[in-house]
């Protein structure tokens, strides 16, 4: 009996067994859980795409089919013809492009001032800027609407674009933390060569902060593309509707088939996926560097 216990103890202390246990507990099980979570996260998108390819009769089938019996790609063509999809997409692209330009310029300049330039009360003012993240948007909604109404900007794109040109506390914080990872000696070398502050920012710092700027551009594009409340409040003209409002408007005003609605929704989500796939390297790099070296 004693020999058996000693063999079991030796087996537990075997390095190969311990490595196998560590592999299962630290690598295999977490990966299985991540795969399951990813599948649950992708399930609504899968159902959206599957629904967009079904016929009307198959949509009414009970229980619902997990995979379409026949692929009806004509639903996408009918969706594009049923609503002015390209007009709504043009409006969404205009809003996203203008917001990206405003966010990248304003947040980069403000973050540069909070990280690379020494001036009185810099840190206390930065804390005030960060504190604005805790203010809920509905608190300032009425005041913003009143301001834009007095400026006669309601029912235009300006109320949706102008806020991006005044900076965002989250993006300012993100770029500021990234700029702290850039050596101060680069700016000192620029001063020695006779460059002023703006030349140092534009010629030396901006090329180095492309990952952080790419993150801000991606987040801004996603926020603008998916924004529903802003256009709903400020825009009443159907000609100016973005896709987020246009799809909802036609879903409530017309008896649209769900297959066509899901086809249009798939087309709306497609540009977001393409943007992320094109800039995922900058996205991951900007997030990790800003978090590790902040």
- Would you state the structure tokens that stand for residue 238, as one six-digit string? 């159907």
The CA distances from residue 21 to 12, 31, 72, 87, 193, in Å, are 10, 15, 49, 58, 59
Count CB neighbours of 108 within 10 A: 23
- pTM to 2 decimal places: 0.80
- Cβ within 8 Å of residue 289, ≥6 positions away: 178, 181, 211, 212
Query: Radius of gyration (Cα) for the chain, nearest Å?
Result: 26
- pLDDT at residue 270 tops 70: yes
- pLDDT at residue 287 tops 90: no
The residue count for the chain: 294
Q: Among 209, 220, 168, which Cα is nearest to 187's?
A: 209
Encode pLDDT of 94-120 as tens digits: 999 999 999 999 999 999 999 988 889
Determine contact, residues 246/84, Cβ cutoff 8 Å. Answer: yes
Count CB neighbours of 90 within 10 A: 13
Count CB neighbours of 177 within 10 A: 18
Mean pLDDT of all residues belonging to the chain: 83
CA dist 208 and 285 (Å) reads: 12
Q: Residue range 187-211: average pLDDT?
A: 87
Determine contact, residues 227/242, Cβ cutoff 8 Å. Answer: yes
- pLDDT at residue 294 tops 50: no
**Range 72-87 burial, b when 16+ CB lie within 10 A, else e:** beebbebbbebbbbeb
Q: Residue range 175-190: average pLDDT?
A: 88
CA dist 131 and 123 (Å) reads: 12
pLDDT band at 259 (very low <50, low <70, confident <90, very high): confident
Residue 293: per-residue pLDDT: 47
Q: Alpha helices, DSSP H only, in the chain?
A: 2-12, 15-23, 29-52, 56-59, 74-82, 85-115, 122-131, 137-150, 158-161, 169-179, 184-192, 197-199, 210-226, 229-234, 243-253, 258-292
Residue 251: per-residue pLDDT: 64
Determine contact, residues 263/52, Cβ cutoff 8 Å. Answer: yes
Residue where the block lists tokens 């020494």: 118
pLDDT band at 234 (very low <50, low <70, confident <90, very high): very high
CA dist 248 and 48 (Å) reads: 16
pLDDT band at 250 (very low <50, low <70, confident <90, very high): low
């Amino acid at each position: 009996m004693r020999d058996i216990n000693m063999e079991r103890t030796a087996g537990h202390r075997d390095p190969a067994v311990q490595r196998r246990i560590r592999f299962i507990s630290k690598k295999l099980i977490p990966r299985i859980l991540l795969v399951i979570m990813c599948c649950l996260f992708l399930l609504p998108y899968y159902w959206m795409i599957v629904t967009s390819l079904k016929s009307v009769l198959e949509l009414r089938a009970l229980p619902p089919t997990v995979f379409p019996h026949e692929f009806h790609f004509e639903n996408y063509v009918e969706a594009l013809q049923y609503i002015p999809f390209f007009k709504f997409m043009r409006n969404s692209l205009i809003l996203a492009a203008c917001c990206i330009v405003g966010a990248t310029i304003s947040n980069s300049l403000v973050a540069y001032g909070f990280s690379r330039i020494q001036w009185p009360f810099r840190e206390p003012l930065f804390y005030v800027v960060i504190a604005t993240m805790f203010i809920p948007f509905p608190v300032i909604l009425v005041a913003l609407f009143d301001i834009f109404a007095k400026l006669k900007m309601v029912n235009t794109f300006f109320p949706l674009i102008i806020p991006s040109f005044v900076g965002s506390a989250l993006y300012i914080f993100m770029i500021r933390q990234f700029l702290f990872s850039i050596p101060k000696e680069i700016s000192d070398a620029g001063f020695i060569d006779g460059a002023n502050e703006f030349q140092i920012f534009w010629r030396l710092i901006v090329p180095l902060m492309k990952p952080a700027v790419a993150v801000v551009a991606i987040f801004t594009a996603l926020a603008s593309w998916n924004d529903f409340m802003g256009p709903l409040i400020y825009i009443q003209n159907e000609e100016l509707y973005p896709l987020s409002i246009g799809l909802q408007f036609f879903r409530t005003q017309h008896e649209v088939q769900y297959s066509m609605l899901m086809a249009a929704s798939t087309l709306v989500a497609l540009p977001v996926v393409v943007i992320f796939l094109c800039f995922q390297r900058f996205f991951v790099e900007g997030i990790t560097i800003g978090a590790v070296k902040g």
